[in-house]
């Protein structure tokens, strides 16, 4: 946090100059100019191989149709005296979309950020993402931005990008909401700027917790654990199982898939530091332990996952049954893959259309309503010692 605060202070004080200098230091590239020309996004889409275009279109379509169901409805309630009480939803004006890009590239996160923002009706989408070693973000990230209708992309990442979106610089506009996942620096920066801007959640290094019984296959459990461990050395991969045979088979199953693994170093570090296999005496006990951790992703590889899911209180997303590897949720199931981590699923949920909206209360009293309730308002105001509050009602009633 001390490092992040130093980065944020520099961005606030020095603006674009700090973005150049910090990106050069952390990403090895001076991003001058910061903005990716809009035509580059269209060109990247044109250059995308047909099979990848099809996969992106399928993901986009499924994510869009799921998020369209999330649009919240306005509320209009008539009180007992005919007074109007309501709640009205409106989009924020500007959204900052963080797309990670340090240890892997995340075109899927472009879609997971941009689709709900567009469904919400946000006017201006400002995407930030770190430049790769060649100086530009990954080609497919740019292509996905084009597909999702994002035109404004800046090649800056890390805490400095979050600072730019929160404070604004000469080039990057200050936004109302920052969404999107990232590593520890990004996540702590979002936490630090919260209050100046809204954020979706603390969606940091990935986590998976698998609850498995005797019906689960060791190789599939291993693949699912490795799939999150490979994101980041700080990723967590935990298995809670009631099957001694499965627990005993796991070390060999993991080792086999780690052989010649292209991301073996990151993955091994994550497993060593944040990996765990726990033998539980019942599925109920496993559910309790899972709730203590409140995982970002919870997989239920058990005979009756729906019954077990009912017992779970805290999880960012629950994946049920043998045909639901967590990876389907990462890419195209439909619900958002940007999810709270580090125990914050106790009080936060997935990025959604509401992330990019806020609601305003509406109240319209008529004379009858004020006459019926005014004396109670006066009594309450006087009990709080707030003279003019009471007066504002009295002057209408008299
Ligand atoms: N929770 C979720 O919903 C979710 C979804 C997708 C990805 N993720 C997570 O997102 C993260 C992506 O991380 P990443 O690193 O690949 O990309 P990233 O874009 O989050 O971070 C890269 C940036 O970190 C900064 N950085 C790196 N080292 C630094 C240092 N020593 N000091 C200051 N800044 C530094 C650099 O500016 C760099 O641009 C992973 O942790 C992954 O698990 C989470
Ligand atoms: N598992 C990540 C969320 O923790 C999301 C993701 C994107 N691409 C692959 N995985
Ligand atoms: Zn993933």
Q: Encode pLDDT of 336-349 as tens digits.
A: 999 999 999 999 99
Alpha-helical runs (H) found in the chain = 2-14, 16-27, 38-47, 50-68, 107-120, 139-148, 158-167, 184-193, 218-229, 244-258, 264-274, 283-293, 305-311, 326-331, 367-383, 387-397
39 labelled ligand-binding: no
Q: How far, in Å, is the centroid of ligand 2 from the Cα of 206?
A: 7
The conformation of residue 4, written as its DSSP 8-state character, comes to H
Hey, whose CA ends up nearest to atom 5 of ligand 2? Answer: 330
The pLDDT tens digits for 118-133 are 999 999 999 999 999 9
Rg (CA), the chain: 25
Average pLDDT, the chain: 98
Ligand 1 and 107: CB distance under 6 A? no
Q: Which residue from 153, 156, 160 is spatially nearest to 189, judged by alpha carbons?
A: 160
Ligand 1 and 101: CB distance under 6 A? yes
H/E stretch holding 142 reads helix 139-148
398: pLDDT strictly greater than 90:
no
84: pLDDT strictly greater than 90:
yes
CATH classification code of 207-341 = 3.40.50.1980
Angle at 268 between CA 263 and CA 273, to 5 degrees: 135
Q: How far, in Å, is the centroid of ligand 2 from the Cα of 123?
A: 27
**Ligand nearest, relative to CA of residue 186:** 1
Q: What's the mean pLDDT in 128-143?
A: 97
Q: Report domain extents, the chain.
A: 2-201+353-357, 207-341, 366-397
The pLDDT tens digits for 232-291 are 999 999 999 999 999 999 999 999 999 999 999 999 999 999 999 999 999 999 999 999
ipTM of the complex: 0.99
Angle at 24 between CA 17 and CA 15, to 5 degrees: 20
Q: Give me the percent of the chain exceeding a pLDDT of 90.
A: 100
Q: Three-class SS of residue 174?
A: coil
HSE (side-chain half, CA atoms, 13 Å) at 127: 34
Q: Three-class SS of residue 82?
A: coil
Q: How far, in Å, is the centroid of ligand 3 from the Cα of 382?
A: 57
Taking a C-beta distance cutoff of 8 angstroms, is the pair 120, 357 a contact? yes
Known catalytic membership, residue 296 = yes
Indicate if 207-341 has the same CATH topology as 2-201+353-357.
Answer: yes
Taking a C-beta distance cutoff of 8 angstroms, is the pair 266, 227 a contact? no
CATH fold of 2-201+353-357 reads Rossmann fold (3.40.50)
Q: What's the mean pLDDT in 188-200?
A: 98
Q: What's the mean pLDDT in 297-314?
A: 98
* Helices 158-167 and 184-193, axial angle in degrees (round to 10): 20
């Amino acid at each position: 946090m001390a490092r992040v605060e130093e980065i944020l202070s520099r961005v606030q004080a020095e603006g674009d100059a700090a973005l150049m200098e910090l990106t050069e230091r952390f990403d090895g590239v001076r991003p001058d100019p910061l903005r990716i020309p809009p035509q580059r996004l269209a060109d990247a889409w044109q250059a995308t191989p047909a099979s990848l275009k099809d996969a992106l279109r399928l993901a986009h379509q499924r994510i869009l149709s799921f998020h369209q169901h999330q649009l919240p409805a306005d509320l209009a309630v008539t009180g007992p005296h005919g007074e109007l009480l309501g709640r009205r939803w409106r989009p924020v004006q500007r959204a900052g979309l963080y797309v990670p890009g340090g240890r892997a590239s995340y075109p899927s996160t472009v879609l997971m950020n941009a689709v709900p923002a567009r469904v919400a009706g946000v006017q201006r989408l400002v995407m930030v993402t770190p430049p790769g070693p060649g100086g530009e973000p990954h080609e497919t990230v740019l292509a996905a931005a084009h597909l999702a209708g994002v035109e404004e992309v800046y090649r800056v990442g890390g805490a400095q990008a979050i600072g730019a979106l929160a404070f604004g610089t000469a080039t990057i506009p200050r936004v109302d909401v920052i969404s999107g996942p990232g590593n520890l620096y990004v996540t702590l920066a979002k936490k630090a700027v919260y209050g100046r801007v809204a954020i979706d959640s603390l969606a940091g290094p990935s986590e998976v917790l698998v609850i498995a019984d005797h019906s689960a296959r060791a190789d599939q459990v291993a693949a699912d654990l490795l799939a999150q461990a490979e994101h980041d050395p700080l990723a967590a991969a935990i298995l809670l199982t009631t099957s001694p045979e499965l627990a005993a088979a796991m070390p060999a199953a993991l080792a086999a898939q780690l052989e010649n693994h292209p991301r073996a170093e990151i993955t091994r570090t994550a497993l060593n530091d944040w990996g765990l296999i726990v033998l539980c005496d019942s599925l109920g006990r496993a559910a309790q332990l899972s709730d203590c951790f409140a995982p970002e992703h919870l997989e239920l590889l058990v005979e009756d996952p729906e019954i077990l899911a009912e017992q779970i209180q805290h999880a960012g997303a629950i994946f049920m049954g043998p045909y639901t590897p967590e990876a389907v949720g990462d890419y195209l199931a439909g619900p958002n893959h940007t999810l709270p981590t580090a125990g914050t699923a106790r009080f936060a949920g997935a990025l959604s259309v509401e992330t990019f909206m806020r609601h305003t209360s509406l109240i319209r009293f008529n004379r009858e309503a004020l006459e019926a309730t005014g004396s109670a308002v006066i009594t309450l105001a006087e009990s709080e010692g707030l003279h003019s509050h009471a007066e504002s009602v009295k002057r209408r009633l008299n």
